[in-house]
Amino acid sequence: MDSIFIYRNPENADGNGPLKGLKVAIQLNISAAGWPAEAGSNALVNFKALEDATIVQRLRKAGAYICGSTRMSEFGFGLQGSSAGQALRQKEADAELVLDLMGESRLAAQRARVCGFKPSYGLISRLGLIGLIPSMECCGVLSGSLKNIRAILKAVAGPDELDFSLPDEATPDFSPQKIDPEKTTIGLITEALAELPAGHEKMFRAAVGKLKKAGFSLRDLSLPDFPLFSLVHKIVGSVEASSCAGRYDSVRYGRRAAGAKNWNDMYLLSRGAAFGLLLKGYLMQGAFFQFERYDAYEDACRIRARLLDDMQRLTSQVDFLVFPMADHESDGAPASIADTYAQFTSTIFASVTGQPALYLPPISGSAHTGLQLAGPRLSDGRLLALGEHILNTRRGGK
């Protein structure tokens, strides 16, 4: 046991292929055959994955070395107890995979001052990912180098005959692409700046100014419903979590509570003991909406569809979007669902819409919080190219 890894690959690296030599850390909610797959929860204690997740299998095939599983929050919900990003910081890995439910991969990247990428929903097979919010979660990639992220995406993205839920769409091109700032417009949703902590807006505007200086056209856009992203996520996410988490009943794996009088009792005691406080609260909230306020859940689904339309309309007017990344690093662990959501106000939109989003760290030594870029659905390849262009400009322009 160490502070970063909860499980280390006992085998040595021996892969061959385009990713040869690349060390990739995963989490306990990403299946690797024979490895513990406890997803950070007592509900899955002693559960070992039977097969590789498609993403792991494809990484291995491309020659990458899966070096171990890092510590994670319960079912990847938030970053409480997570060591995501630390393996990069300690040079124990070249890339990390982090399941993204509401922005975890970007927030962890910010904390580790590395790049964090959340691909378009459905671009990467979900087979073997132990999730909580099936309509939103997707596997994010963290790395100090965007080239690594691009190479990984190239190896893992695309159709999987074992995951029918992947949409029948053309996989984006992940080969290097040129970005011409003169022909590129980046939009800024002004409502996204509303809830920034004091001083952050100024810092963000300064960073946007640098994009302008680099030759990009900037354009202000308006999405008055922007605050609804969090609300919709809270309702839809918790209902899906509550319904899906039914499979974590602590009967076949996890710890079955002793002393139950009957089946019902066994479920109540075991599930009661299995989940941590935060997750239990989240599941309870979902159950409340599902069984007591289904109308609110249906409303949330409708609003989600509307937000998706709104976002599509906005992304069609520009090439990319730029968002702030508020610095939410606090001293204590978040205590409540509200605290947890508050950390993700800047990132949650992309989980609701399923669009790709990329976090870029600031220049080392700077007090800046970094930038978040996003693009329309399946613009993943171009979005990474944009990130690479911006990082190169910084290096060239120092």
- Give the range of 7-15, 82-90, 204-212, 261-269 binding another protein by CB under 8 A: 261-269
Tokens of 378: 């399946």
Query: What's the rounded Cα separation, in Å, for the pair 337 and 281?
Result: 7
Strand order in the sheet with 320-324: 5-8, 65-70, 23-27, 95-100, 138-143, 115-118, 357-360, 371-374, 320-324, 185-189, 217-221
Q: Verify binding: residue 350, another protein, rule CB under 8 A.
A: no
Residue of 27, 9, 24, 116 whose CA lies nearest to 70:
27
Cβ neighbors of 132 (< 8 A, separation 6 or more) are 75, 76, 77, 101, 237, 240, 241, 244, 245
Q: Identify the H or E element spanning 26.
A: strand 23-27
Interface with another protein (CB under 8 A), residue from 9, 90, 135, 217 = 135
Q: Which is nearer to another protein, 129 or 196 (CB)?
A: 129
- Give the range of 191-199, 244-252, 276-284, 388-396 binding another protein by CB under 8 A: 244-252
Query: What's the rounded Cα separation, in Å, for the pair 50 and 66?
Result: 16
Interface with another protein (CB under 8 A), residue from 129, 326, 357, 390 = 129
Q: Verify binding: residue 53, another protein, rule CB under 8 A.
A: yes
Q: Verify binding: residue 225, another protein, rule CB under 8 A.
A: no
CB of 69 to another protein, least distance (A): 14
Q: Verify binding: residue 203, another protein, rule CB under 8 A.
A: no
Q: Which is nearer to another protein, 250 or 393 (CB)?
A: 250
Query: What's the rounded Cα separation, in Å, for the pair 163 and 169?
Result: 14
89-115 burial: b if 16+ Cβ within 10 Å, else e? eeebbbbbbbbbbbbbbbbbbbbbebb
Tokens of 52: 């590789």
CB atoms within 10 A of CB 31: 25
Query: What's the rounded Cα separation, in Å, for the pair 214 and 371?
Result: 15
Tokens of 171: 């996989």
User: Which amino acid, one-letter code, is at 318?
Assistant: V
Interface with another protein (CB under 8 A), residue from 18, 176, 246, 272 = 246
Q: Which is nearer to another protein, 56 or 378 (CB)?
A: 56
Site string for another protein, 137-176 (x = CB under 8 A): -------------------------xxxx-----------
Q: Verify binding: residue 303, another protein, rule CB under 8 A.
A: no
CB of 135 to another protein, least distance (A): 4
Q: Verify binding: residue 217, another protein, rule CB under 8 A.
A: no
Interface with another protein (CB under 8 A), residue from 244, 257, 269, 391 = 244
Q: Which is nearer to another protein, 193 or 301 (CB)?
A: 301
> Which residues in 268-297 contact another protein (CB under 8 A)?
290-291, 294, 297
Q: Verify binding: residue 252, another protein, rule CB under 8 A.
A: yes
Interface with another protein (CB under 8 A), residue from 24, 26, 37, 189 = 37
Interface with another protein (CB under 8 A), residue from 18, 20, 50, 336 = 50
Handedness of CA 26, 60, 36, 99 (dihedral sign): positive
Q: Verify binding: residue 35, another protein, rule CB under 8 A.
A: no
Query: What's the rounded Cα separation, in Å, for the pair 119 and 75?
Result: 19
Binding site for another protein (CB under 8 A): 31, 37, 39, 44, 47, 49-51, 53, 126-130, 134-135, 162-165, 239-240, 243-249, 251-252, 263-264, 267, 290-291, 294, 297
